[in-house]
Structure 1
C-alpha cells in the first residue's frame, strides 16, 4: 500500500508543481494557454500557483525527512479542497471538459490523504 501511495504522491506532486510554476512564474504563458486565467485577477492565479507548489512539495518532503509525515495529509487535503472548488468553478463556466480531470485529481488526493493517515 505504501508503494501505491508514494506513486500517487509523486504523480500529484509533478502535476501540481509543474502547473503551479506555470501559474506563479510564467503568467503570460499561462494566460495564453489556459482560458480561465484571462478571466480572473492575476493575483489569484499567482496565489493558486504558489499554493500548488508549496502543497506539492509537502507531498514529497516526508520522503527525505520522516519527521514531517504530517505534511502529506495536510497537502493532500489542500489539493482536495482546491480540486473541489476547481470543479465548481469549471462547472459554472460551462467548461465541462475540465471536470473529469479535476475529479480524478480530487479522488487521487483524497486517497493519498486517507491512506497517509492510516497506513
Structure 2
C-alpha cells in the first residue's frame, strides 16, 4: 500500500507543480490557455498557483526528510480543500468537464490523506 501511495503522491506532485508554476509564474500563458483565468483577478490566480506548488512539495518532502511524514497528510488535505473549491467554482460556471477532472484529483488527494494516516 505504501508503494501505491507514493505513486499517487508523485503523480499529484507532478500535476500540481506544472499547473502551479503556470499559474504563479507564467500568468500571461495561463490567461491565454485557461478560460477561467480571464474571469478571476490575477492575484487570486497567482495565490492558487503558489498554494499548489507548496502542496506539491509537501507531498514528496517525506522522501527527503523521513521525520516529516505528517507533511504529506497536510499537503494532501490542502489539495482536498482546494479541489472542493475548484469543483464548486467550475460547477457554478457549468464547466462540467473540469468538474470531472477535479473530482479525480479530489479522490486521489483524499486517498493519500486517509492512506497516510494508516500507512505512515
- Which TM-score tier does this pair reach, normalised by the shorter chain? over 0.9
User: Equivalents in 2 of 1:102, 1:86: separation in Å?
Assistant: 7
What secondary structure is seen at the aligned counterpart in 2 of 1:69?
Answer: helix
Runs of 4+ in 1 over 2 A off after TM superposition: none
In structure 1, the residue matched to 2:5 is 5
In structure 2, the residue matched to 1:68 is 68
In structure 1, the residue matched to 2:97 is 97
Q: How does 1:45-60 map to 2 (within 5 A)?
A: 45-60=45-60
Paired residues in the alignment total 119
Per-residue deviation, 1:80: 0.3
User: Equivalents in 2 of 1:115, 1:63: separation in Å?
Assistant: 16
User: Equivalents in 2 of 1:42, 1:28: separation in Å?
Assistant: 10
User: Equivalents in 1 of 2:79, 2:27: separation in Å?
Assistant: 21
Per-residue deviation, 1:23: 0.2
Runs of 5+ consecutive residues of structure 2 not aligned to the other structure: none
Q: TM-score, normalised by structure 2?
A: 0.98
Q: TM-score, normalised by structure 1?
A: 0.99
Q: CA RMSD in A?
A: 0.4
Runs of 5+ consecutive residues of structure 1 not aligned to the other structure: none
In structure 2, the residue matched to 1:78 is 78
User: Equivalents in 2 of 1:68, 1:48: separation in Å?
Assistant: 24
